[in-house]
Structure 1
Amino acid sequence: MPARLFQSLLILLALLLVLPVLALAGAWLQFDHTSAQVLREMADTVLPAYTGTSLILCLSVAAGVAVVGMGTASAVTLFDFPGRRHFEWALLLPLAMPAYVVAYAYTDFLQFSGPLQTWIREAFGVRGRVFPEIRNTPGAVWVFTFSLYPYVYLLARTALAERASQLMEAARLLGAPMGRRIREVALPLARPAVAAGVALALMETLADFGVASYFGVQTFTAGIYKAWLVMDNRVAAAQLATMLLALVALLLWLEHRAQQRMRFAALRGQRAGSAEAQPVRLHGRRAWLAWLVCAVPILAGFVLPVAFMVRPLVGGWDELPWTMFVQWSVNSVRLAGLSALLATLLALAMAYALRMRPGWITRGVVQLTGLGYAVPGAVIVVGLLLPVGWVQAVQPDSSLGYWITATAIGIVWAYLVRFTAVALQSVQSGYARVPVSLDDSARMLGSTGLALARRVHWPLLRRSTAAAALLVFVDVMKELPATLVLRPFNSDTLAVVAYQLARDERLGEAALPALTLVVVGLVPVILLSRTLRQR
């Protein structure tokens, strides 16, 4: 393929994947008196509530995931106690739980008419509400903390496992007590990793729609959907989406800075320590305390929500809508399979282009694609639907709206915008393990271009490609905000059905699709835990 045509295709691909952001920028270029009036009205009414609630939620979740993630990572890395080997992988289990599923499970069990409060009233003769309402901001903080702490745990554990034990052993030989070793050696070493994990958790918190909508928390994401679907105000939705995107961009910048400091800390740590250093063996109360530190997050983030959802299934097994469940599953698998296939093919093409032609255009396309995962689903929805409104305003007979909202084109496009970055990261990690010398040897033997990719690269990239497709498949299965708006007619997915049933207070029926999503999410978690054990 000619180099000019190849670069043109890459640029076109990049434009398609960053269209939501470009559309939001175009909306601000049309800023006029009406837009200014809408912005003033929002500033006087809903914007303070959105900003204040989002700020409180982010600060609380940041503190929660930092404490839980750092505490569990320190326990399994720095100390040895009964059950430590099992906790190392079990602490990853909440990654399989979508946050909105955890919210449904706790609400079903702890609400006024739930089994726990009903039993307490009947057993002890108590009247009225026994526990406070969970559908509020503190309840959302609880859900997000125990659903998202694995981001901090995973990064902090990796940072501590590299050199923390060796450096703490050196500090012990210098006479430092345990408290000082943790405070002055382990915590500074893991601080960049904790910052990166907190930034990732906050990006997920800001992008969430299921928990915020179900708990009635006035966040930016919930406000975007209310402005678009309830108020039918596209200008307000675009302005809110831009503000949310600016917050996410700030978190992404902080995460990148933390990642750079993580590499610096690792290099600094490699100069000291002894390879024979081992975790400190705990006994008695300290061992029980470490055990509780690791057990409580697993119970709160995985075991209890699963148990709460299994309970209504056991009691009403024969009444479950199995026929509809099969249809929902087919819709979910079809959309997830198609999106995973396309995202993986795009990732392979871009990674191959970066390998063969590492120019500034190729690097720019790859970097733009890599930012897609940080764009919240609500922003993608607004960014895709805004151009539809512009086109229909000029050409009322245009069928663009039909193709975007009534077919699979719009929703698959949104999935590619958000999840191609996931596939690209996995494929690039596979290419990083393929020596460039193999390419040179293949060229000397007469294999160039696509023949080189087919005969040399593909056999070595099969595992990375399969992992990329699996990750995209699972992410699409759990995705809610974009699917809720852009799915084709009569194509409800498991995530959408679980949300709609829970919103209608049919939590028992919502348990089946919600548990199915959990089972699907367990697959990459199991693979991740196996990879960590192999390392």
Structure 2
Amino acid sequence: MRLTMLRGPLLVAPIALLTLIPLLVVLGSFLHPQPEVWAHLSEYVLPEVINNTLILMLGVGCGVLLLGVPLAWFTAVCEFPGRRFFSWALMLPLAMPAYVLAFVQVGLLDFTGPVQTLIRDIGGDSSWFPRIRSIGGVVLVLSLAFYPYVYLLARNAFLTQGKRALEAAQMLGLSRAQGFWQVALPMARPWLIGGLTLALMETLADFGTVAIFNFDTFTTAIYKSWFSLFNLPAASQLASLLVIFVLVLVGMEHWARGARHYHSRIVAAERIQLKRWHQIAVIALCSAVLLIAFVIPVIQLLVWAKSILQEDLDSRYLGFTLRSMMISILAASLVSLLALLLVFIARRFNSRATRWMVRLATLGYAVPGSVLAVGVFLPIAWLDNLLIPIAQSMGFATFQVLKGSVAVMLLALAARFMAVAFQPMDSTMQRISRNQEDAARSLGLNQRQLLWRLHLPMLRGGMLTALLMCFVDVMKEMPITLMTRPFGWDTLAVRVFEMTSEGMWANAALPSLMIVLTGLIPVVLLVIQSENKQD
């Protein structure tokens, strides 16, 4: 009996090790500090990095809530012209990587950009214009990039309430505004916490945006320690601190949810009819956010790409695109296959231990890519160093099988995006009831036939969603690709980083457009899924 209970965790364990080994390696470096490294970090790096990271998390947390919650409320509960359009269009910024939005906003709003140039041409002075290269600029860009996480989840929460929650509050003597603050928001708490947590995790994991703004956080400090100072121990020590930040954030999220239970269902309730001037204000708000976060950046990318197309588009882009496509296809296939195994194991052996192991296997999405890059590289480098004497004894001068190979990239990407593939497939699996399985068994199907004739056909939609979402996420992924790629193995994301590092915005536009267009695929899927749940 005990052996049967352990089969699930034992089967999940090899997949969970993809995430656990890098995390344990990084945390292990924290347990074995090097005094000279910590002396350097504590004097020159940590004060600024910790301060910047905390300010950034506070600012982005407030920003995504201030943008996502009102937009979700208006499109879910209120009625105004254009509501159906804005309900899905406000999710389009999900297709825009934060680092792309960052360099577009810098190119537009910097002193030499078209906005300040126009202001000087009209009024002669633009010194009053807020500096985009500031902490406020970083917070603004990341808030615009990550507010859809809060918007999407909060909107789903408000859709389950409809107008009836406010009507119940008004029957108790509360005004409509009081009903929103005292009833609707508390009922939406788990969704809001979930969206906020995702946004903050993405903020901690962000590398490209803060690098463009030259705003040092843990991710940029890890990269500089590794590739600028060639100090891998310092990078691992910083990575260990960042892991602790992430684990504290995850723990706070679970604590904030508490032991409360929330029940929801989609309700077809009459929407709140806004007054005319309220409609104008809501339309202005939705339009401004959509324009600044998506429409204007895409137009600017098209203008830049057109201006540089003839002189910049050459055979190199074929290599950038093919390498991006190749690593995305390989990683998406590997991750989706492993996630499918997790789903089947979790279904077959539904025990608490199995669920905990599955949770550990999908923890990688909460861990920044730079941390996973360090955590994967260190054991791979150790293994290669063990193999070098063996190779030399066999007559080989040098022998590097794993370090600096595509295999390292795939391992880090698999750990990072396991949850992305697991969630849609697990959600689809939950729709297959036990009664359906019992009915199939009553027709004489064994376990293998049940898999091929019931589970796999019904999981097809979830598998396709998992493949597409992983494909696009890998296309956009910057730190893992940048830190673990083989020498000269540049992708579209690496091209964007190199061009933005030199301030060559126009040259970064073409690869950015390719990434944005690819990123529209999962957004369209989310839009279709969201629309199927309403109206």
TM over 0.5: yes
Greater than 6 Å deviation, 4+ residue runs: 2-7, 398-401
Quote how far apart the aligned CAs of 1:397 are: 4.1
Report the counterpart of residue 46 of structure 1 in structure 2.
Answer: 45
Match of 1:264 among 261, 264, 272: 261
Match of 2:518 among 517, 520, 526: 520
Letter in 2 for 1:455: R
2:19–2:361: 8 Å Cα contact kept in structure 1?
yes
Report the counterpart of residue 75 of structure 1 in structure 2.
Answer: 74
Report the counterpart of residue 371 of structure 1 in structure 2.
Answer: 363
Q: 1:516–1:259: structure 2 CA closer, same or farther, 3 Å change rule?
A: farther
Report the counterpart of residue 282 of structure 1 in structure 2.
Answer: 274
Quote how far apart the aligned CAs of 1:306 are: 1.1
Deviates more, 1:307-316 or 1:76-85: 307-316
In structure 2, how many angstroms separate the alpha carbons of the residues matched to 1:29 and 1:450? 46
Letter in 2 for 1:202: L
SS in 2 for 1:316: helix
Letter in 2 for 1:477: M
- Map of 1:37-436 to 2, 5 A cutoff? 37-126=36-125, 131-258=129-256, 264-266=261-263, 277-359=269-351, 362-391=354-383, 396-397=388-389, 402-436=400-434
In structure 2, how many angstroms separate the alpha carbons of the residues matched to 1:297 and 1:498? 24
In structure 1, how many angstroms separate the alpha carbons of the residues matched to 2:216 and 2:229? 15
Quote how far apart the aligned CAs of 1:41 are: 2.9
1:14–1:365: 8 Å Cα contact kept in structure 2?
yes
Q: 1:181–1:482: structure 2 CA closer, same or farther, 3 Å change rule?
A: same
In structure 1, how many angstroms separate the alpha carbons of the residues matched to 2:440 and 2:189? 44
User: 5+ residue gaps in structure 1?
Assistant: none
Q: 1:298–1:397: structure 2 CA closer, same or farther, 3 Å change rule?
A: farther
Match of 2:22 among 20, 30, 33: 20
Letter in 2 for 1:408: V
In structure 2, how many angstroms separate the alpha carbons of the residues matched to 1:37 and 1:486? 26
1:159–1:266: 8 Å Cα contact kept in structure 2?
no
1:23–1:386: 8 Å Cα contact kept in structure 2?
yes
Deviates more, 1:221-230 or 1:143-152: 221-230
Quote how far apart the aligned CAs of 1:152 are: 1.0
In structure 1, how many angstroms separate the alpha carbons of the residues matched to 2:412 and 2:426? 22
Report the counterpart of residue 534 of structure 1 in structure 2.
Answer: 532
Letter in 2 for 1:117: Q
Q: 1:350–1:187: structure 2 CA closer, same or farther, 3 Å change rule?
A: closer
SS in 2 for 1:365: helix
User: 5+ residue gaps in structure 2?
Assistant: 392-397
- Map of 1:433-472 to 2, 5 A cutoff? 433-472=431-470
1:336–1:473: 8 Å Cα contact kept in structure 2?
yes
Instruction: Give deviations 1:179-235, integer Å, cap 9, x for gaps.
Output: 222222223223332222111111100100001111111111111111121222222
Pairs aligned (count): 524
Q: 1:389–1:490: structure 2 CA closer, same or farther, 3 Å change rule?
A: closer
1:371–1:421: 8 Å Cα contact kept in structure 2?
yes
Q: 1:359–1:162: structure 2 CA closer, same or farther, 3 Å change rule?
A: closer
Quote how far apart the aligned CAs of 1:57 are: 0.8
* Identity value in percent: 38
Q: 1:186–1:438: structure 2 CA closer, same or farther, 3 Å change rule?
A: closer
In structure 2, how many angstroms separate the alpha carbons of the residues matched to 1:401 and 1:227? 26
Quote how far apart the aligned CAs of 1:357 are: 2.4
1:388–1:401: 8 Å Cα contact kept in structure 2?
no
Quote how far apart the aligned CAs of 1:480 are: 0.3
2:30–2:240: 8 Å Cα contact kept in structure 1?
no
Report the counterpart of residue 395 of structure 2 in structure 1.
Answer: none
Letter in 2 for 1:529: V
Quote how far apart the aligned CAs of 1:170 are: 2.4
Quote how far apart the aligned CAs of 1:451 are: 2.7
With normalisation by structure 2, the TM-score equals 0.91
Deviates more, 1:200-209 or 1:132-141: 132-141
Letter in 2 for 1:107: V
In structure 1, how many angstroms separate the alpha carbons of the residues matched to 2:280 and 2:10? 61
Quote how far apart the aligned CAs of 1:178 are: 2.7
Q: 1:27–1:171: structure 2 CA closer, same or farther, 3 Å change rule?
A: closer
With normalisation by structure 1, the TM-score equals 0.91
Q: CA RMSD in A?
A: 2.5
